[in-house]
Amino acid sequence: MTNPRQLAFIALRDVHKGAYADVALDRVLQKFNLADCDRRLLTELVYGSVRRQRTLDTLIDQFAKKKSHQQPPELRTILHLGFYQLRYQERIPASAAVNTTVQLAKENGFAGLTGFVNGLLRQYLRRVGGAEEEGSRGAGETGGQGDKGTQQIINPQSPAPNPQSPIPHFDPLQLPENPVERLAILHSFPDWIIQVWLEQLGFEETEQLCEWMNQSPTIDLRINPLCTSIDEVEAALQSVDILVRRIPHLPQALRFIGNTGSIQKLPGFKEGWWTVQDSSAQLVSHLLDPQPGEVIIDVCAAPGGKTTHIAELMADNGKIWACDRTSSRLRKLQENSQRLNLQSIQIYTGDSRHFNQFYNTADRVLLDAPCSGLGTMHRHADARWRQTPESVRELSVLQEELLTHTSSFVKAGGVLVYATCTLHPAENEEVISAFLAKSPDWQIESPRGVELPVSAYSTPQGWFKVWPHRQDMDGFFMVRLRKTNNSE
């Protein structure tokens, strides 16, 4: 089987039964040998349909007599695929999107409902206006200002409409007046996430953040300065027509431009010249600022991107204890450290909240805390649907426990860096404020006078926050804490 739409249906069916989107997709990709173009289409359809689930459900609610949750689950999945192609895939002709979706229904137990599927999608196209006859995209990506019925698209990032185009720029998606629900339906997020962002950013920037989170993620790499240079890696990649660009403030970072094919087959990967790591994650180790000869403890280390970066920054000279309670993820760390030819990393399996042997032993500790991942939802398509306000509260308790206990690992005068890839204050600012309130021997240290890449992202409060729509990288929070010399 090589039909990418049928394979997307299989993967999405598993997702709707509870599988993680990346696991379900990888399972299909491993089973079938697809051409690169089909792999890309399959990946786009799966991740896109999961990301846009709320918007797609709203379209079903709007155009069908039965609401989306009343539809047979597999038929709902098929309708998601159809609406996703019409609404978000401008390179797929509308006629092809409709016809292939009807075929999916026919081949997956809904032969008697092909007329319903066909009619529903064409009704959407009629509301857009003339698109089905022209074989072009269904509707604009982001919506407009009307409260009911047809709305004019006003996405400022879209190209100007072609005055000769027969397709009116109207969006049939009906949106409520309430700003939280409006953004949540239009950009496909739970209301509570939109509310958290609105409180921090306001409407305009929240919408920009939503748009950014719905983009396909970029891939960044971090060169290994112990065995190569950024110039050498650039040249090696360009020799096989792989384009990259440098990233401001990060001396080891390159970002891939366009398709890369298999990462493992690119020049320099097997030789340990570089590893994949998002730019924001690279900032964390720079904030820790490890020095040669020091003892460093990475208390939630797996899968090891920051651990190996720490080893590179300290010239692989010193001792790094890489701790994690998940042995399978620590194996990935071990593989990466061997590929990068790093010797200073020692692996320790277990829950850092229960370690006592590290008391007062570390010059620096990194707590890259387990979190809701709300800063990386573009990478994890289903994260927005898996997290809840309750799960965030549970995580904040875990984060406080980890911070309280692992701070005891730090010597007097030493440093602890707390970092998350979430943008929720309950997991970031509130955790740090609660810790400092009960820990008089700790204080925030802003690395003033020290030229660190992270300095460009500092806040008046002394911590560092990366907003994706501003800095074009994953959302991150990080803060450097110093243990005063008069600590016990």
Tokens encoding 383: 């994260």
User: Does the pLDDT at position 56 exceed 90?
Assistant: yes
Strands 253-257 and 220-223: antiparallel
- What tens digit of pLDDT does each residue of 196-221 get? 999 999 999 999 999 999 998 999 99
- Dihedral sign of CA atoms 314, 436, 377, 151 in order: negative
Domains 220-276 and 279-483 share a fold: no
CATH 3.30.360.10 at 279-483, yes or no:
no
Return the exposure string of 304-335: e unless at least 16 CB atoms fall within 10 Å of the residue's CB, then b: bbbbbbbbbbbebebbbbbbbeeeeebeebee
The values of phi and psi at residue 418, to 5°, are -105, 130
pTM (2 d.p.): 0.88
User: Does the pLDDT at position 472 exceed 60?
Assistant: yes
First to last CA, the chain: 66
Structural contact between residues 416 and 483, judged by C-beta atoms closer than 8 angstroms: yes
Q: What is the pLDDT of residue 447?
A: 67
User: Does the pLDDT at position 431 exceed 70?
Assistant: yes
Residue 130 and residue 128: Cα distance in Å, rounded?
7
Residue 37 and residue 22: Cα distance in Å, rounded?
18
Q: Is 145 exposed, middle or buried (0-12, 13-18, 19+ CB in 10 A)?
A: exposed
pLDDT, mean of residues 58-66: 96
- What tens digit of pLDDT does each residue of 370-426 get? 999 999 999 999 999 999 999 999 999 999 999 999 999 999 999 999 999 999 999
Return the exposure string of 149-179: e unless at least 16 CB atoms fall within 10 Å of the residue's CB, then b: eebebeeeeeeeeeeeeebebbbbbbbeeee
Q: What is the pLDDT of residue 222?
A: 98
- What tens digit of pLDDT does each residue of 235-261 get? 999 999 999 999 988 999 999 998 888
**Is 421 one of the annotated active-site residues of the chain?**
yes
Strand partners, 443: 482
User: Does the pLDDT at position 166 exceed 50?
Assistant: no
Measured at the CA of 368, the angle between CA 276 and CA 380, to 5 degrees, comes to 55
Tell me the CA distances in angstroms from 461 to 87, 205, 249, 445, 465, one per residue in order.
42, 21, 21, 10, 10
Q: Which of 179-193, 256-270, 443-457 has the lowest mean pLDDT?
A: 443-457
Structural contact between residues 465 and 477, judged by C-beta atoms closer than 8 angstroms: yes
Residue 87 and residue 424: Cα distance in Å, rounded?
30
Nearest Cα to Cα of residue 465 among 398, 419, 432? 419
Q: Is 273 exposed, middle or buried (0-12, 13-18, 19+ CB in 10 A)?
A: buried
Q: What is the pLDDT of residue 354?
A: 82
Residue 141 and residue 92: Cα distance in Å, rounded?
14
- What tens digit of pLDDT does each residue of 280-301 get? 999 999 999 999 999 999 999 9
- Dihedral sign of CA atoms 45, 50, 54, 58 in order: positive
Q: Is 106 exposed, middle or buried (0-12, 13-18, 19+ CB in 10 A)?
A: middle
Indicate the CATH number of 220-276 among 3.40.50.620, 3.30.70.1170, 1.20.120.530, 3.40.50.300. 3.30.70.1170
Q: What is the pLDDT of residue 486?
A: 59
Q: What is the pLDDT of residue 152?
A: 30
Helix ranges (H only) for 136-255 are 179-187, 191-201, 203-213, 230-238
Residue 131 and residue 125: Cα distance in Å, rounded?
6
Strand partners, 476: 466
Query: Inter-axis angle of helices 94-107 and 73-88, to 10 degrees?
Result: 170
3-state secondary structure of 28: helix
Q: What is the pLDDT of residue 259?
A: 83
User: Does the pLDDT at position 266 exceed 70?
Assistant: yes
Question: What are the extents of the domains in the chain?
Answer: 220-276, 279-483
Reported confidence tier of residue 450, pLDDT bands at 50, 70, 90: low
